[in-house]
Amino acid sequence: MRSKLKLLNIHTHRPNQANAIFNQETATQQTKYCYSLGLHPWYLDTNWESLLQEMKTKSDDPNLFAIGECGFDLLKGPKEAIQIAAFEAQLHWAKELGIPIIMHQVKGLHVLQQSLMHFKDPPPIVWHGFMGKSSSFQSLMNFPIYFSFGAAICKNHKQTIASLEALPLERIFFETDDSELTIEQVFSKASLILRLPVEKLARQVIENWNHISKRKIHE
Nearer to Zn ion, 23 or 208 (CB): 23
DSSP for 40-107, written as a single string: -GGG--TTHHHHHHHHGGGTT-TTEEEEEEEEEETTTSS-HHHHHHHHHHHHHHHHHHT-PEEEEEES
CB of 201: closest distance to Zn ion in angstroms? Answer: 21
- Under the criterion CB under 5 A, does residue 177 sit at the interface with Zn ion? yes
Q: Report d(CA 25, CA 40) in Å as an integer.
A: 8
Nearer to Zn ion, 74 or 169 (CB): 74
Nearer to Zn ion, 124 or 177 (CB): 177
CB of 77: closest distance to Zn ion in angstroms? Answer: 14
- Under the criterion CB under 5 A, does residue 175 sit at the interface with Zn ion? no
Nearer to Zn ion, 5 or 27 (CB): 27
- Cβ atoms of residues 91 and 123 within 8 Å: yes
What is the SS3 assignment for 22? strand
Q: Report d(CA 197, CA 193) in Å as an integer.
A: 10
Interface pattern 127-166 for Zn ion (x via CB under 5 A): ----------------------------------------
HSE value, Cβ hemisphere, 13 Å, CA-based, for 126:
31
The answer on whether 104 is annotated among ligand-binding residues is: yes
Binding residues for a divalent metal cation: 69, 104, 128, 177
Residues near Zn ion (CB under 5 A) are: 177
